[in-house]
Structure 1
Amino acid sequence: MKTIFVKNGRNKGKDQVFVELAYDETLIKKIKLFPNATWNSRERAWVLPYSDTIISDLLTAFRGFAWVDYSGFRKPEITLKDRLQPLSLERKRDIERFIDSMRVQRLAESSVTHYGSGVALFFRFLDNKNPSEIDEADLKRFQKEYILDQGYGRSYQRILLGGIKKYFETEEKSRIQPTSIVLPPKEKKLPNVLSKEEIKKTLGALSNIKHKTMLSLIYACGLRRSELINLRIEDIESARGILRINQSKGSKDRIVSISQKVIKMLRVYFQAFQPKEFLFEGVKPGKQYSAKSLENVFKKAVNKAGINKQATLHWLRHSYATHLMEAGTDLRIIQSLLGHQSSRTTEIYTHVSNRTIQTVKSPFDDL
C-alpha cells in the first residue's frame, strides 16, 4: 500500500496542510474531493486549508487506499495576531481616510499598503480604541507585548512604527506626539552576492527564452524586480543601447546601458512572444508578469544549477554592483546606475568586493 505524507505550511498568514503523494489516479481523485485542494508545483504537494479535523478527514478518505504518515504534522499554535479582534466599522473608516491621505501625498503604493496594514494591526491590538484616546502607554505596550514579545525583527518594527507615526501626523486630536515616536535604526547587513560563475550556471539552467531574458536583463542592468516587470516596450532604445527606468524607488527616473549581447537576446524573445504593452507579460496579453512568478523562476533556476544557497532575485542586483566594483568602475557611476540617492548606500558593496578585500595582506603571512 502506498504512503502519503502530511506536514504543516503557512501562506499569507493562513495555516495550510501539505499532502505529498505519488502519482496515482485514485489517490489524486481522493485528494481533489477536499474543498479548495490545489496543486503546489514548488512544494510538489497538494495544499489544503487547515482545519482541526484535517488529519481524521485524511485518514477516513484514504483508508484502504494509502497509509497516512502525519509524523511531520504539528497542530499550529494560535498566535497573538490570531486572537486580536477584527477592525470595527469606525476604525475601518479611519484606515480608509489614512490611505486616501497617503495617496494624496503621492507615497509609493507599497508604503501605503504597509502603513495601512500596520495601523490596522495597532488598532486591533488596542481593541478598536478611539484614536483620540490612544496615548504613549498604549504605544509602549504594543511595542513590548506585540513586537518584542512575539519576536518580530527590527525591520518589521520600523514598518509598524513608521505607519503609526505617519497616521498620528494626520490626526488632529491626539495624545501622541509623532515626534516622540522613534524608529529603531536600520539593520546594517552586507549584501549577498553570487559569483560570475554561479550566475552563468543559473542562467544556463533556463531553457525558456522569456525566463532567461528576464533574469539576464536584471543582472545585466542591475534592476529591481519591480523595475523589470514595470518595463514597457518603448523603454528599450536599442539604437542608443540604453534602457529607461521610469518612476522607480523614490519616484526617480534613470537610464542604464544595455550591451549588444542583451539586445540580441531581447530581439529573439520579442519575436517569439510578441508582447503588447509591457516588455514582459503574463498569461493575459497587456498584463505585466507576476512578481511572485518571477521570484519562483529564479529560485528554480538556482536549484537546477546546483547552487546550494538560499538566494533571492535581489541577489542579481547586488551581484551586478559588486562585479562592476571589482572591475574598477567608479563608485559614483555605480551609484547612478543603481539609482541610489546617496553614495553611502552604494559604498556597502566595497565590503563584499574581492577587489577591495584581496588587496589587504594578512599579518599571518609574515609569521
Structure 2
Amino acid sequence: MSAVKLFKGFYPECAIDELKLERPRKSNILPVVLSKEEVIDLLRITRNLKHRAALAMIYSAGLRISELLHLEIEHIDIDRRQIIVKNSKERKDRVIILVKSFIPLMLNYMASYQPKKYFIEGKPYQKYSATSVRSFLHKSSKAAGIKKRVTPHTLRHSYATHLLENGIDLRYIQELLGHAKPETTMIYTHVSKKDLLHIESLLDIAVKSISKNELPNKYEHLSENY
C-alpha cells in the first residue's frame, strides 16, 4: 500500500483508487517452538563440534541465521560476557549476553577449529553457508526424534519463548531480539505456557467442588475405570 501511494504521488493522473485496495492480511500462524528438553536433545545429538557450537550460539543468543553468519570473533567479549550483533535486520547494533554455560563449548570449538575472522567459517576468512546450517540442523532434529519442522528461526523463537516463560520482561526480550516494534515480540505471549499453565480450567474447578461438597465415595475419581 505504501508503494502504491508513493507511485500515485508521482503520477496523480493514474486511475488507482487506494481506498478500494485491501491491505494484505498479516499471518496469524504461531511460530514453532521447541521445549527446553528438545533443545538439549538437539544439541546432544549433534556430534560435529562446529555444528553444535553454531546451533548453541543461535539458541543461547537468539540470533537470526544472517546474524550468526556475519558474527565476527572480535565482536565476542568473553571477559564482559557480551556479544555485539552487527548487520542486523533493523540495521542497528545490539548487545546480547554471552551465556555462561555456552562458554566452555565455544572455547573448545574455537581451539579446535581456530576460525580466523567469523565465528563460523566454511574456509578461513569466509562466511559459512546458510544452506549448510539448515542442512545439518535438519539432520540433527531428525536424529533427535523431533517431529516438528525445525529451522534456525525455530531456535530463535524457542529462545524468546523460554525467556518469557522464565519471567523475563517483554520489553527486555524485545531489546535482546532486536525488534523495532513491541508488537513483533508480543507473538511470544501466544505460545508461552507460563500463564496458561496457571489458569484453572472449569473441569479442575468442578472436580474440586465435588471433592469438597459431596459425600465420600459418591463420585469416583475421574482417572478410574467405570
TM exceeding 0.5: yes
Whether contact under 8 Å (1:351, 1:357) holds in the other structure is: no
Q: TM-score, normalised by structure 1?
A: 0.52
**Structure 1 residue ranges (4+ consecutive) displaced by more than 6 angstroms after TM superposition:** none
- Please show how residues 175-214 of structure 1 align to structure 2 within 5 Å: 175=14, 177=16, 179=18, 182-214=22-54
Which SS does the other structure have where 1:354 is aligned?
coil
Question: CA separation in 1, counterparts of 2:15 and 2:152?
Answer: 40
For 1:223, the equivalent position in structure 2 comes to: 63
Q: Which amino acid letter does the alignment assign opposite residue 198 of structure 2? A: T
User: Would the alpha carbon gap of residues 188 and 204 (structure 1) be closer, same or farther in structure 2, given more than 3 Å must change?
Assistant: same
Deviation at 1:168, TM superposition (A): 3.9
Whether contact under 8 Å (1:241, 1:259) holds in the other structure is: yes
Which SS does the other structure have where 2:96 is aligned?
strand
Whether contact under 8 Å (2:58, 2:64) holds in the other structure is: yes
For 1:156, the equivalent position in structure 2 comes to: none
User: Per-residue CA shift, 1:320-351, capped at 9, x if unaligned?
Assistant: 11111111111111111111122222122111
For 2:174, the equivalent position in structure 1 comes to: 335
Question: CA separation in 2, counterparts of 1:295 and 1:166?
Answer: 38
Q: TM-score, normalised by structure 2?
A: 0.82
Question: CA separation in 2, counterparts of 1:312 and 1:165?
Answer: 34
Question: CA separation in 2, counterparts of 1:174 and 1:319?
Answer: 50
Residue of structure 2 aligned with 1:365, choices 189, 204, 207: 204
Whether contact under 8 Å (1:218, 1:317) holds in the other structure is: yes
**Greater Cα radius of gyration, structure 1 or 2:** 1
Which SS does the other structure have where 1:355 is aligned?
coil
Question: CA separation in 1, counterparts of 2:173 and 2:48?
Answer: 30
For 2:190, the equivalent position in structure 1 comes to: 351
For 1:125, the equivalent position in structure 2 comes to: none
For 1:239, the equivalent position in structure 2 comes to: 79
Q: Which runs of 5+ in 2 are unaligned?
A: 207-226
Question: CA separation in 1, counterparts of 2:63 and 2:17?
Answer: 35
Q: Which amino acid letter does the alignment assign opposite residue 220 of structure 1? A: S
For 1:89, the equivalent position in structure 2 comes to: none
Deviation at 1:174, TM superposition (A): 7.4
Question: CA separation in 2, counterparts of 1:174 and 1:261?
Answer: 63
For 2:224, the equivalent position in structure 1 comes to: none
Deviation at 1:267, TM superposition (A): 1.4
Question: CA separation in 2, counterparts of 1:179 and 1:240?
Answer: 52
Residue of structure 2 aligned with 1:307, choices 115, 123, 146: 146
Which SS does the other structure have where 1:189 is aligned?
coil
Q: Which runs of 5+ in 1 are unaligned?
A: 1-160
User: Would the alpha carbon gap of residues 213 and 294 (structure 1) be closer, same or farther in structure 2, given more than 3 Å must change?
Assistant: same
User: Per-residue CA shift, 1:67-121, capped at 9, x if unaligned?
Assistant: xxxxxxxxxxxxxxxxxxxxxxxxxxxxxxxxxxxxxxxxxxxxxxxxxxxxxxx
User: Per-residue CA shift, 1:179-216, capped at 9, x if unaligned?
Assistant: 56543121122121100111111111111110000000
For 1:51, the equivalent position in structure 2 comes to: none
Number of residue equivalences: 205
User: Would the alpha carbon gap of residues 182 and 242 (structure 1) be closer, same or farther in structure 2, given more than 3 Å must change?
Assistant: same
Whether contact under 8 Å (2:118, 2:125) holds in the other structure is: yes
User: Would the alpha carbon gap of residues 169 and 238 (structure 1) be closer, same or farther in structure 2, given more than 3 Å must change?
Assistant: farther
Whether contact under 8 Å (1:168, 1:178) holds in the other structure is: no
Deviation at 1:175, TM superposition (A): 3.0
Deviation at 1:261, TM superposition (A): 2.2
CA RMSD for the aligned pairs? 2.3
